[in-house]
């Protein structure tokens, strides 16, 4: 009977990242014997995650089931779909990575940059590929997005068919190959049991504008700019970069490419023919001074206000050889990722103070077209695939909920729509889908490249230090005599300054600690933990009462040695 149950076990579908958030997309399809992963993304931290470089999924479930992993399939080359690969391959053994040509090249570069010594097998696929991974048969649907070589993925299992759209929009006048609507329709006619679909623009009505619509706005900016043009966009937005290059050529300017990721991506795109730039058009920073301001275009990263990206460093004057001068026009040719608005505005203000004319996307100047589907495209996508069951993916919770509402309006029953979080599982069995159990899927915070991550407790401590500072209490005691050798010394670090009153606070805090410890010593035989806990309690209560702050309290106890 046990063996029979194994044979008819359901297929598990779950996300380790990408649900309830924009970023770290990582979806898994698992049977009793086989497991495949669709994408392995990273999320960049918001400002409140102090000292964190990346946020990745918890890979513990994959580690526990490593013997079942057959392959990692990549839909396209954006960071929120490939950025987690270096951390994933350090944690579990991935037998093979299947990726489109451009994504494969970007992954190889990423592994090389991060000095991954283990040889990782990377195999390119295209629209005609059909790959067997364990018991799963995987095929691909070309889609339009803001990076070439973007695909949806169709997975046929013994229990039913699953389709993941990847990131897409239905662009009927794309810069590059058309979306394969005919293939989407055919797959839908054949039957889709469960559809996972991009939800990022679910709150936007109508259709996402075509990438070609942006060209007129970029040309208009070139026409009006008399000085240097500094244009910031995603390094992976190959179509946008080509449009900027075309406008540069049309207006007889030269282009200077800055920012490590921008330089690397452009080099790879040039190598494979995704971008075409005459070599005579490219200049570097060292020879830029030979050009007139009216002949210069600077293409850089940093459109999301990232502190270490090229544009932020140009704005604050720390980019070697390049500073803002009055007359510069700075263009943000991308829309803000949710959570990045504050960082972007900070950079905009720095640029404006330095004398630049800053242009961001607005209803008056359309300098960005999203790579994600708005409501009409979501409706068309659902009509084409016509799934029995639907799981909105890739989006914050309200985006997933709105996408689910769209599906319900199109006739998919409410009970067949699953609004899930990372770690929730669905079970597909005999073409029916039901809820399953949860698996570990909390965030892992990466500081540098340490795969072990930073614990939530460390993040909490950093937040306290950022907001409320630290108070150190230094004690010298004689543990044998159970007495203080001198009054406690209280020092504040990163704490709000109260001028002369600050001395009053530290002096009175010291007196309160001394009184509490003398009482403690007289009452019983005490341990070092008792002493530290008393310090924390007394100082914490005193400073909160006086300042309404909760600084981190660190007692330092030195014991007299006889």
The reply to whether 310 and 408 lie within a common domain is no
Is residue 304 within 8 A of residue 343, CB to CB? The reply is: yes
151/41 same-domain check:
yes
Does some domain include residue 416?
Answer: yes
pLDDT at 399: 96
Q: Which residues make Cβ contacts (< 8 Å) with residue 281, sequence separation at least 6?
A: 245, 248, 249, 254, 255
pLDDT digits (tens, 9 = 90+) for 423-442: 999 999 999 999 999 999 98
Q: Are residues 259 and 333 in the same domain?
A: yes
Question: Rounded to 5 degrees, what are φ and ψ at 35?
Answer: -145, 130
pLDDT digits (tens, 9 = 90+) for 503-512: 888 889 999 9
For the chain, the average pLDDT equals: 88
Q: Which domain holds residue 335?
A: 213-359
Examine residue 135 and state whether it is found in any structural domain, yes or no: yes
CATH code of the domain in which 475 resides:
3.10.20.580
What number is the average pLDDT over the span 165-178?
A: 91
Map residue 513 onto helix, strand or coil.
helix
Residue in 361, 399, 358 with CA at minimum distance from that of residue 378? 399
Domain boundary among 446, 481, 497: 446
Q: Please check whether residue 3 lies inside any domain of the structure.
A: no
Provide the sign of the torsion angle of the four alpha carbons 6, 12, 17, 20, taken in this order.
negative
One domain, residues 235 and 308? yes
Same domain, residue pair 152 and 26? yes
161 within a domain of the structure (yes/no): yes
Q: What's 312's domain CATH number?
A: 3.40.50.10710
Is position 348 within any domain?
yes
Task: Determine contact, residues 57/45, Cβ cutoff 8 Å.
Answer: no
Residue 464 domain flag: no
CATH number at residue 394: 3.60.15.10
CB 180 within 8 A of CB 384: no
- Regarding whether 193 and 56 lie in a shared domain, the answer is yes
**Helices marked H in 57-200:** 60-64, 79-82, 85-91, 101-113, 181-190
User: In this structure, are 31 and 151 located in the same domain?
Assistant: yes
Asked if the model's pLDDT at residue 304 lies above 60, the reply is yes
Same domain as 332, residue 391: no
- Poorest-pLDDT segment among 192-206, 218-232, 261-275, 544-558: 544-558
Give 89's Cβ-side CA count (13 Å radius). Answer: 25
What is residue 335's DSSP assignment? P
Give per-residue pLDDT as tens, 512-542: 999 999 888 887 788 888 899 999 999 989 9
In a domain, 138, yes or no: yes
Same structural domain for residues 230 and 325? yes
Question: In terms of domains, do 418 and 353 share one?
Answer: no
Q: Is residue 463 part of a domain?
A: no
> What tokens does 33 get?
């014997």
User: What's the domain count of the chain?
Assistant: 3
Question: Which of 324, 359, 394 is the C-terminal boundary of a domain?
Answer: 359
Note whether 416 and 328 are same-domain residues.
no
Q: What span, in angstroms and rounded, lies between the C-alpha atoms of 545 and 541?
A: 6
């Amino acid at each position: 009977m046990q063996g029979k149950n194994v044979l008819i076990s359901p297929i598990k579908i779950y996300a380790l990242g990408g649900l309830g958030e924009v970023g770290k997309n990582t979806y898994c399809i698992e049977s009793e014997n086989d497991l495949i992963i669709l994408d392995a993304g990273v999320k960049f931290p918001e400002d409140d995650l102090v000292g964190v470089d990346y946020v990745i999924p918890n890979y513990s479930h994959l580690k526990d089931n490593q013997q079942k992993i057959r392959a990692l399939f990549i839909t396209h080359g954006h960071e929120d779909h490939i950025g987690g690969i270096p951390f994933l391959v350090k944690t579990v053994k991935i037998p093979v990575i299947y990726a489109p040509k451009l994504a494969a090249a970007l992954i190889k570069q990423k592994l090389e940059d991060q000095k991954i010594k283990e040889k990782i097998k990377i195999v390119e696929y295209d629209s005609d590929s059909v790959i067997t991974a364990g018991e799963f048969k995987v095929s691909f649907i070309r889609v339009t997005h803001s990076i070439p070589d973007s695909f949806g993925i169709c997975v046929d299992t013994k229990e039913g068919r699953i389709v993941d759209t990847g990131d897409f929009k239905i662009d009927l006048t794309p810069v590059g190959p058309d979306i394969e609507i005919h293939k989407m329709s055919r797959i839908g006619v054949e039957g889709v049991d469960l559809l996972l679909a991009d939800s990022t623009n679910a709150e936007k009505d109508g259709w996402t504008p075509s990438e070609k619509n942006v060209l007129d706005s970029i040309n208009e900016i070139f026409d009006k700019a008399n000085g240097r043009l500094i244009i910031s966009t995603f390094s992976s937005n190959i179509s946008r970069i080509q449009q900027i290059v075309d406008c540069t050529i049309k207006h007889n300017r030269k282009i200077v490419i800055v920012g490590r990721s921008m330089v690397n991506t452009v080099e790879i795109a040039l190598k494979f023919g995704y971008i075409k730039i005459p070599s005579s058009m490219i200049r570097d920073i060292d020879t830029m001074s030979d050009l007139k301001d009216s002949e210069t275009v600077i293409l850089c990263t940093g459109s999301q206000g990232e502190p270490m990206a090229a544009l932020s460093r140009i704005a604050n004057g720390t980019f070697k050889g390049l500073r803002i001068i009055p007359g510069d026009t700075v263009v943000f040719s991308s829309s803000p990722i949710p959570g990045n608005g504050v960082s972007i505005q900070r950079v905009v203000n720095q640029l404006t103070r330095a004398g630049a004319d800053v242009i961001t996307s607005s209803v008056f100047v359309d300098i960005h077209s999203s790579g994600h589907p708005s409501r009409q495209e979501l409706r068309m996508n659902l009509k084409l695939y016509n799934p029995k069951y639907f799981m909105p993916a890739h989006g914050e919770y309200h985006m997933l909920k709105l996408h689910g509402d769209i599906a319900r309006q199109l006739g998919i029953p409410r009970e067949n729509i699953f609004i899930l979080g990372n770690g929730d599982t669905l079970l597909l069995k005999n073409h029916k889908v039901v809820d399953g159990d949860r698996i570990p899927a909390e965030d892992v915070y990466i500081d540098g490249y340490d795969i072990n991550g930073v614990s939530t407790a460390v993040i909490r401590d950093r937040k306290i230090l950022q907001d409320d500072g630290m108070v150190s209490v230094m004690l010298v005691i004689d543990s044998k005599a159970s007495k203080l050798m001198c009054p406690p010394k209280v020092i504040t670090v990163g704490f709000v300054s109260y001028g002369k009153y600050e001395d009053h606070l530290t002096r009175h805090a010291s007196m309160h600690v001394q009184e509490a410890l003398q009482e403690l010593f007289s009452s019983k035989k005490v341990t070092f933990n008792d002493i530290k806990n008393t310090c924390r309690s007394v100082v914490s209560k005193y400073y909160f009462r006086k300042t309404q702050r909760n600084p981190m309290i660190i007692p330092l106890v030195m014991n007299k040695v006889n």
